[in-house]
């Protein structure tokens, strides 16, 4: 059981890193793009800090199985917050439509949306993978 909890925590740690890398990269690409401001702010002030907190908790976790299981349970409870945040990504098109307004043609709006959605896709995928991993059943010793 101890080995299983340790391996599980390592998988969660890797998923946290993947999410943070994707989110940081998306911010770097989108930060100077005015239509992406709401998404960059969302990443910088909500999503990234939440997952960075997971990272800190994992780094501070003792190698004992009981501590790993306890932390995994706490992170499972917190995963709902991340899942709620990820819902924001389901509304990229609506937010972009508000940002761009009627000043652009449909073709231009589509190009802008495609550019931004492409940068956010990996963020959503890695975030959902992290949520799924955290949502797995945790077996007590």
pLDDT band at 60 (very low <50, low <70, confident <90, very high): very high
Sequence-distant (6+) residues with CB within 8 A of 113 are 92, 93, 96
Structure tokens at 65: 């199985």
Place of tokens 């340790």: 6
84 CB neighbour count, 10 Å cutoff: 12
Identify the weakest region by mean pLDDT among 20-29, 76-85, 104-113, 130-139. 130-139
pLDDT band at 64 (very low <50, low <70, confident <90, very high): confident
Given a cut of 60, whether residue 1 has pLDDT beyond it is no
Element (H, E) at 36: none
Contact status, residue 36 vs residue 30, Cβ threshold 8 Å: yes
Sequence-distant (6+) residues with CB within 8 A of 30 are 36, 39, 40, 116, 119
59 CB neighbour count, 10 Å cutoff: 9
3-state DSSP helix/strand/coil percent for the chain, to nearest 5?
Answer: 90, 0, 10
CA 8/CA 80 separation, integer angstroms: 19
Average pLDDT over residues 22-42: 92
DSSP structure class, residue 44? I
């Amino acid at each position: 059981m101890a080995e299983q909890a340790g391996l599980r925590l390592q998988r969660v740690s890797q998923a946290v890193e993947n999410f943070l890398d994707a989110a940081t990269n998306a911010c770097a690409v989108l930060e100077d793009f005015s239509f992406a401001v709401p998404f960059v702010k969302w990443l910088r002030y909500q999503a990234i800090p939440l997952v960075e907190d997971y990272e800190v908790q994992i780094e501070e976790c003792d190698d004992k199985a009981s501590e790993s299981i306890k932390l995994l349970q706490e992170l499972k409870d917190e995963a709902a917050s991340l899942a709620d945040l990820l819902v924001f990504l389901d509304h990229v098109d609506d937010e972009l439509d508000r940002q761009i307004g009627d000043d652009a043609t449909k073709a231009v709006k589509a190009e802008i949306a495609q550019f931004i959605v492409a940068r956010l896709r990996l963020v959503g995928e890695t975030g959902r993978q992290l949520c799924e991993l955290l949502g797995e059943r945790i077996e007590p010793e």
